[in-house]
Amino acid sequence: MKVDTTLAYTAKWLHPELFSDLDPQAIHQEYLTDYMRVDYDLDEHGVFVYQES
Q: Does the residue 52 lie in any domain?
A: no
Cα end-to-end span (Å), the chain: 20
Q: Please determine, for residue 46, whether its predicted confidence score (pLDDT) is greater than 90.
A: no
- The mean per-residue pLDDT over the stretch 10-33 comes to 94
CB 28 within 8 A of CB 12: no
Q: Do residues 13 and 53 touch, judged by C-beta distance below 8 A?
A: yes
Residue 53 in any domain: the answer is no
Look up the domain containing 17 and give its range. Answer: 5-45
Q: Is the pLDDT of residue 1 over 70?
A: no
User: Is the predicted pLDDT of residue 2 greater than 70, yes or no?
Assistant: no
Q: Is the pLDDT of residue 21 over 80?
A: yes
Q: Look up the pTM and report it.
A: 0.79
Domain count for the chain? 1
pLDDT of residue 52: 60
**How many angstroms separate the Cα of 36 from the Cα of each of 1, 29, 30, 41, 49?**
18, 10, 9, 13, 18
Average pLDDT over residues 12-40: 94
Alpha helical stretches, state H, 1-53: 5-14, 24-30, 42-45
